[in-house]
Structure 1
């Protein structure tokens, strides 16, 4: 996963290249393939930004089940990718298809055993949301079960 670009505020401040200065001051460069720093809202939700992420999945690869506190616009640009919810519901995306992710628990799966896949995601933080007495939070669940997706 590489963070292609991010801005800390919407609307973006182009004056004096403020958006570039803030991006370049961040901990990761455009070529970084570590877990990206995601721009999140400040206390009260007054400071929110957007992130553009490029995610490559090797043949047969899959992400951990995870939930983010954001709305994500994801577009498959190479290959075939399966978006799987924790309920087991699946949507298959081919190059050119897109999905809107709204804070649910999900994983990404490259549906091919031989070809790589890529999607581009734009994420925008959401305000805190309470569901069943619990505030939505970012969660990444390491799989201990030996999960293998059905391709």
Structure 2
């Protein structure tokens, strides 16, 4: 499989959907009032030769997360700037936005995680390894529970966007065998 790790920031190298701006808040140490810690345009990664573009607005490394002294912000920055990105963050969470090109080639995969996937733009097909296919429309939510699945933009002309919240989970057992990650077709490229 050939993947590209080209990063883009709202340029012609990304989807034509609106730019996402990320806002991270914190508490002012002197007043205790809410203030903005950072605000910036999302940094997108070209994934699978333009089949999709991904960005991670935030992630955590444990639960419950430590928000003191911006430990969580530093941890997230290290995660997204580190060498190898993974789909799931062990012991934590990942907030990810994915833009799918029209009629993208679906990539069947499984992660050991509990995921919420929300369609923000367009229509996306949820494809299960059993052969079942469900068309999700704007606002629809999929709850993935460590299952083999794929996502396909149902349109041949328009881009689609989904928001995902991935949470690490305990090992899943089926008939006495532990399910393992199967992400060969969507493996996250190094940065």
| TM-score, reference length from structure 1 | 0.80
In the TM superposition, residue 36 of structure 1 has moved relative to its aligned partner by: 4.4
Report whether the alignment pairs 1:91 with 2:144.
no
Report whether the alignment pairs 1:53 with 2:103.
no
Larger relative CO (CA 8 A, sep 6+): 1 or 2?
1
Segments ≥4 residues shifted beyond 4 Å: 34-37
- Root-mean-square deviation (CA), in Å? 2.0
In the TM superposition, residue 37 of structure 1 has moved relative to its aligned partner by: 5.2
Unaligned 5+ runs, structure 1: 41-47, 143-151
Relative distance call for 1:35 and 1:115 in structure 2 (3 A) is: farther
1:64 maps to: 107
Tell which deviates more after alignment, 114-123 or 132-141.
132-141
Report whether the alignment pairs 1:118 with 2:161.
yes
The structure with the largest alpha-carbon Rg is 2
Give secondary structure in 2 for the equivalent of 1:18: helix
Supply the distance in 1 between the matched residues of 2:74 and 2:161 (Cα, whole angstroms).
28
2:56 maps to: 3
How many correspondences in the alignment? 132
1:45 maps to: none
In the TM superposition, residue 65 of structure 1 has moved relative to its aligned partner by: 0.4
Supply the distance in 1 between the matched residues of 2:80 and 2:184 (Cα, whole angstroms).
24
Unaligned 5+ runs, structure 2: 1-53, 186-191
| TM-score, reference length from structure 2 | 0.64
